[in-house]
Structure 1
Amino acid sequence: MEELKPSPPNSSPLTPLGFLDRAATVYGDCASIIYNTTSYTWAQTHRRCLQLASSLASLGIRPGHVVSVLSPNIPPMYELHFAVPMSGAVLNTINTRLDAHTVSVILRHSGSKLVFVDSLSYPVLRDAIQLNSSKSSPPIVVLITDTHADAASDSSPAVDHTYESLIEMGDPEFKHDLGSKGVVHCHRGLFIVTVDSLIDWAVPKQPVYLWTLPMFHANGWSFPWGMAAVGGTNVCLRKVDVATIYDEINKHHVTHMCGAPVVLNMLANAPNREPLARPVHILTAGSPPPAAVLSRTESVGFKVGHGYGLTETAGLVVSCAWKREWNKFSLNERARLKARQGVRTIGMTEIDVVDPGSGASVARDGSSLGEIVLRGGCIMLGYLNDPVGTAKCMDSKRGWFYTGDVGVMHPDGYLEIKDRSKDVIISGGENLSSVEVESVLYSHPLVNEAAVVARPDEFWGETPCAFVSLKAESGRVTEKEIIEYCKEKLPRYMVPKSVVFKDELPKTSTGKVQKFMLREIAKSMGSQKVSRL
């Protein structure tokens, strides 16, 4: 029998799970989670996660199995970001706004062995499992009850276990494996992007972090693990509500939070709000933020950071690194500079904007469009059970990940997104950035939200169609007035040829405008008959 040799000391795997072990030692008696009247310390959170991981193992969950979660930002959702990978399983967080059919597809595709479900989402899960009943074995169902939520619509759900019962039956001395891999992201990649994000955002020790960003969205941009690394306090919210956000900021002296630009817009436009008593750092990403929104948000006391990332990068890997000399500029000019996505973070190897056909870098002139490509240690391993989809976006020769986002590179090396490739409007042969038009619309004093999509045009092929909502306290404005406003600030070919007013634009749970819905509306409006400006 061959003698077993100990592993060298430099071969230990990198994993964000070690952040929780350390937090229990360093910050054991400090607050880890606050949710209404519920609170835990880091020692308690560490113990609860170990017990939960132990129970998962006792239920037959093995390394490589998929465990799904359907829950808002409440304490169990945070704990599961540690407990599930501690058991060796793959954590699959599901958007709580999806319907039963979509959830059934996700469960079937992932092969989920167990599902944690919040009581208010149980009816959706129940229907999803019924849709799959003839195609696969049902997963184990664990119910998350919440005394702070409204009563569940199903008074007697058919579940196998409750969340707290699993914690009670688990072993607090459970020994977890630090090296198991997830299918899409490995522990090493998550470790890299977590540490990278903390450094880039300059997060201090023991911040107070408010969870406005859904944890199911790209695992909360890595900050569930990041808050453990720095011993932060996680203030949980079941729903994103402007009044509640301001109340929680003041009550718990919140220092940091994340959110899509739509959240910034909500905060900046909240009626009858006094400026913040103390600055709050807010990191935004998800879609290009209009400079006008950044300016208004900072004017009420938020310190805005801006970055770029995707689910495939597990967090933000490009950030608008701020230069001291920019502080001398006007608020509007600072906001314009901050609206750019920026440069690679230190954890990324390389970023570029390339011609999709040749693969050559585009000119660094701030106007030449190309596809954004990335290389680095936190890029996904691949799409789950989808080798074809993985091969389409991965360049095996150079190691590039093709994002599908269209951008430009400025002379100073800063990247700026211009659009998703599917959102670029081609009018009369000209590539037109919907983001650029939206930025102008957001600068209008009466506009609350704006989105621009293509509308068929008999002469130009397609032209910009603007969808806008107005501020609640604003006066009225006409389609003609909006178009004339844009004519003053944009080249003629970029000016919207039609404007549709709506009370609110359709958005995803993470705050992104659902442009596919707007494209369908614009398409149903028919072709523009006369639009030669």
Structure 2
Amino acid sequence: MTTIYDRDLDKTPANYEPLSPLSFLRRTAEVFPHRLAVVHGDWRYDYATLYMRCRRLASALARRGIRRGDTVAIIAANTPAQLEAHFGVPATGAVLNAINTRLDAAAIAFILDHGEAKVLMVDREFAPVAEAALAQAKNKPYVIDIDDAAVTAGERIGAIEYEDFLKLGDFEYPWQGPLDEWDAISLGYTSGTTGNPKGVVTHHRGAYLNAMGNAVTWNLPKHPVYLWTLPMFHCDGWCFPWTITMLAGVHVCLRRVDPAAIFDSFVHLGVTHFCGAPTVLNMLINAPAEVKARLKPGVKCMTAGAAPPAAVLAAMDDMGFDVTHVYGLTEVYGPAVVCDWHDEWDALPLPEKAAMKARQGVRYHVEEDVTVLDPQTLQPVPADGETMGEIMFRGNVVMKGYLKNPKATQEAFAGGWFHSGDLAVLHPGGYMQIKDRSKDIIISGGENISTLEVEGVLYMHPDILEAAVVARPDAHWGETPCAFVTLKNGAALAADQSGSDAIIAFCRERLAKFKCPKTVVFGDIPKTSTGKIQKFELREKAKALP
């Protein structure tokens, strides 16, 4: 029905603009042009320079023929080029595909083909794997080298170096937002439970909202000094390239996680905030005493990935860190659930406080709804802390869908909810806590590992009859792959340490190192009466291993 509020009150350029995080950089460059924006080793530059460099990148890409809906891929560490790509690429209307630097050549080749990348920017450190991927890929993108001064290894494999490419662009290139806030801004690949990863497509509206959600949820101040321990390729750095820029904060780039460098940054660079998987927290906890002595109390940390053990959170708290626990997936732009802290919980004994902080929590302000539902009926489970259901999301901070995969998209959105595949309980007060992963994904160091992909490689071994892979708890990585293997009769391999070493070596020739089993257990694999492998039983066995 038409009402008086529907007549002569139209959208116009004066009262409507599609939401996009690109607007954050333009505003910050105009309001705080001389505020420090980027620190990378001895290199420092302000927001006026960051804006100019991003405009040059957008202009150079446009002159190269990049247009709305094209894909621009990047394989890089946490460097200025990676940060600039998060603004310069979507400013052309193109879609940024930040590729996990830990992937092997076959996986990267698949991504380049599936995403139809027209340009690939490659950090020199990752040139060997990129070159091998390009040799396998049918798609042949234009390659730009990122010759970072902090890298001494690796050869240039591209047609031009990044800084030279920027010189081809116009620093006054008109900054453009999307035609529609539903336009794609990013393409990120997640392994799921299949060998080939799925391409998660996110949009400008969701990126804008979750960038703001980070600021509100974490109570971020103006001008934070943010250390890039979290890879920018991981869910677009959880949207923090846009969040920190919105707040005119300092992006402190860090190529690799090094506890000494992290603690130094607290003292010498005044770092106030950083993000990381539980494995990063564990590295800080176990750093040498002389390194930890450099800690400035009160540094704020956001952690996600595999649920951090309560003991890790307690140790971080004891060291003086202020830890916020979040949960999310690539499909929801990174973190979308937070363990929103109650002041009265501060009075709890440390073990109880750590146990509360280990809960995944409640939805971000910018997400419409997140809850635990019965996956069959889509009805809420009772908030008793015992009944398991599946975590499901609904709202603006949910992906558009999976690229070129309508079946997977429809399944993921069945019943009007995004099905996370994570099983959890609901505590009184509405706080969720993950108990299992229905998709058998292993989260190691914050990265997803498909058990089916690892099992597929194990079955390629001539001496292996049956194989099953599950997560084994690990104090450093959170989880690592544990392979249960049944050998064929007459196998050349022995069911001992030498056989285990041989199987791990076999996997390392065919998989990225982080995906390979860290443990191999020989013997019969338990099955149901219908022949289905009982992974729950295997997980219990893996937990009980010495």
Could you say which TM-score interval applies, normalised by the shorter chain?
0.7 to 0.9
User: 1:177 aligns to what?
Assistant: 176
Deviation at 1:388, TM superposition (A): 1.4
Deviation at 1:177, TM superposition (A): 2.5
* Aligned partner of 1:300 among 291, 294, 319: 319
Change beyond 3 A, Cα 1:329–1:527: same
Answer yes or no: is the 8 Å Cα contact 1:455–1:527 preserved in 2: no
Answer yes or no: is the 8 Å Cα contact 2:102–2:514 preserved in 1: no
Deviation at 1:47, TM superposition (A): 0.5
Deviation at 1:158, TM superposition (A): 4.1
User: 1:336 aligns to what?
Assistant: 355
User: 2:166 aligns to what?
Assistant: 167
Q: How big is each residue's C-alpha offset from its partner over 1:231-285, in whole Å with a ceiling of 9 and x where there is no partner?
A: 0001101111111111122110100000001111111111212272331100001
Distance in structure 1 (CA, Å) of the matches to 2:320 and 2:356 = 19
- Secondary structure in structure 2 of the residue aligned to 1:9: coil
- Secondary structure in structure 2 of the residue aligned to 1:76: helix
State the AA in 2 paired with 1:145. Answer: D
User: 2:219 aligns to what?
Assistant: 202
User: 1:211 aligns to what?
Assistant: 228
Distance in structure 2 (CA, Å) of the matches to 1:175 and 1:450 = 45
- Secondary structure in structure 2 of the residue aligned to 1:10: coil
1:239 aligns with 2:256: yes
Change beyond 3 A, Cα 1:166–1:11: same
Distance in structure 1 (CA, Å) of the matches to 2:418 and 2:323 = 28
Change beyond 3 A, Cα 1:217–1:424: closer
Deviation at 1:335, TM superposition (A): 0.6
1:402 aligns with 2:419: yes
Q: How does 1:270-281 map to 2 (within 5 A)?
A: 270-272=287-289, 273-274=292-293, 276-281=295-300
Deviation at 1:353, TM superposition (A): 0.9
Change beyond 3 A, Cα 1:254–1:424: closer
State the AA in 2 paired with 1:244. Answer: A
Distance in structure 1 (CA, Å) of the matches to 2:11 and 2:360 = 45
1:143 aligns with 2:160: no
Deviation at 1:453, TM superposition (A): 7.8
State the AA in 2 paired with 1:232. Answer: G
User: 1:230 aligns to what?
Assistant: 247
Deviation at 1:71, TM superposition (A): 0.2
User: 2:125 aligns to what?
Assistant: 120
* Aligned partner of 1:419 among 415, 436, 444: 436
Deviation at 1:457, TM superposition (A): 12
Change beyond 3 A, Cα 1:274–1:78: same
Distance in structure 2 (CA, Å) of the matches to 1:158 and 1:277 = 42
Distance in structure 2 (CA, Å) of the matches to 1:358 and 1:400 = 12
1:312 aligns with 2:331: yes
Answer yes or no: is the 8 Å Cα contact 1:211–1:257 preserved in 2: yes
- Secondary structure in structure 1 of the residue aligned to 2:39: strand
User: 2:208 aligns to what?
Assistant: 191
Distance in structure 2 (CA, Å) of the matches to 1:357 and 1:293 = 35
1:367 aligns with 2:390: no
Answer yes or no: is the 8 Å Cα contact 2:484–2:520 preserved in 1: no
Q: How does 1:277-288 map to 2 (within 5 A)?
A: 277-288=296-307
1:269 aligns with 2:271: no
Answer yes or no: is the 8 Å Cα contact 1:318–1:341 preserved in 2: yes
- Secondary structure in structure 2 of the residue aligned to 1:305: strand
Q: Tell me the percent identity.
A: 41
1:58 aligns with 2:76: no
Answer yes or no: is the 8 Å Cα contact 2:278–2:477 preserved in 1: no
Change beyond 3 A, Cα 1:71–1:452: closer
Deviation at 1:169, TM superposition (A): 1.8
Distance in structure 1 (CA, Å) of the matches to 2:129 and 2:419 = 34
Deviation at 1:456, TM superposition (A): 7.2
Answer yes or no: is the 8 Å Cα contact 1:423–1:453 preserved in 2: no
State the AA in 2 paired with 1:69. Answer: I
* Aligned partner of 2:54 among 49, 65, 76: 49
Q: How big is each residue's C-alpha offset from its partner over 1:320-353, in whole Å with a ceiling of 9 and x where there is no partner?
A: 1111111111111111100001111111111111
State the AA in 1 paired with 2:302. Answer: L
Distance in structure 2 (CA, Å) of the matches to 1:452 and 1:55 = 42
Change beyond 3 A, Cα 1:422–1:257: same
Q: How big is each residue's C-alpha offset from its partner over 1:40-69, in whole Å with a ceiling of 9 and x where there is no partner?
A: 100100000001100000000010000000
Distance in structure 1 (CA, Å) of the matches to 2:484 and 2:64 = 56
* Aligned partner of 2:237 among 206, 220, 227: 220
1:327 aligns with 2:346: yes
Distance in structure 2 (CA, Å) of the matches to 1:388 and 1:220 = 28
State the AA in 2 paired with 1:14. Answer: L
Distance in structure 1 (CA, Å) of the matches to 2:439 and 2:515 = 10
Distance in structure 1 (CA, Å) of the matches to 2:270 and 2:482 = 44
Distance in structure 2 (CA, Å) of the matches to 1:245 and 1:168 = 33
State the AA in 2 paired with 1:383. Answer: Y
Runs of at least 4 residues of structure 1 off by over 6 A?
452-458, 513-516
User: 1:483 aligns to what?
Assistant: none
Deviation at 1:455, TM superposition (A): 8.2
State the AA in 1 paired with 2:100. Answer: N
Deviation at 1:375, TM superposition (A): 0.6
Aligned-CA RMSD value: 3.0
Q: TM-score, normalised by structure 1?
A: 0.79
State the AA in 1 paired with 2:19. Answer: L
Answer yes or no: is the 8 Å Cα contact 1:197–1:315 preserved in 2: no
Distance in structure 1 (CA, Å) of the matches to 2:20 and 2:372 = 31
Distance in structure 2 (CA, Å) of the matches to 1:448 and 1:287 = 11
Answer yes or no: is the 8 Å Cα contact 2:485–2:523 preserved in 1: no
1:15 aligns with 2:20: yes
Change beyond 3 A, Cα 1:452–1:109: closer
State the AA in 2 paired with 1:335. Answer: A
- Secondary structure in structure 2 of the residue aligned to 1:521: strand
State the AA in 1 paired with 2:152. Answer: D
- Secondary structure in structure 1 of the residue aligned to 2:429: coil
Answer yes or no: is the 8 Å Cα contact 1:68–1:115 preserved in 2: yes
Q: TM-score, normalised by structure 2?
A: 0.78
User: 1:87 aligns to what?
Assistant: 92
Distance in structure 2 (CA, Å) of the matches to 1:281 and 1:103 = 34
- Secondary structure in structure 1 of the residue aligned to 2:122: strand
Distance in structure 2 (CA, Å) of the matches to 1:412 and 1:186 = 32
Answer yes or no: is the 8 Å Cα contact 1:194–1:223 preserved in 2: yes
State the AA in 2 paired with 1:279. Answer: G
Distance in structure 1 (CA, Å) of the matches to 2:438 and 2:326 = 19
Aligned residues: 453
Deviation at 1:451, TM superposition (A): 4.3
Answer yes or no: is the 8 Å Cα contact 1:140–1:160 preserved in 2: yes
Answer yes or no: is the 8 Å Cα contact 1:451–1:515 preserved in 2: no
Distance in structure 1 (CA, Å) of the matches to 2:53 and 2:481 = 48
User: 1:347 aligns to what?
Assistant: 366
Q: How does 1:332-481 map to 2 (within 5 A)?
A: 332-395=351-414, 397=415, 399-423=416-440, 451=479
Answer yes or no: is the 8 Å Cα contact 2:482–2:520 preserved in 1: no
Deviation at 1:307, TM superposition (A): 0.7
Distance in structure 2 (CA, Å) of the matches to 1:379 and 1:100 = 29
Change beyond 3 A, Cα 1:100–1:453: closer
Deviation at 1:8, TM superposition (A): 4.8
Change beyond 3 A, Cα 1:349–1:130: same
Deviation at 1:110, TM superposition (A): 0.3
Answer yes or no: is the 8 Å Cα contact 1:275–1:300 preserved in 2: no
Deviation at 1:452, TM superposition (A): 8.3
Of 176-185 and 88-97, more deviation after overlay is shown by 176-185
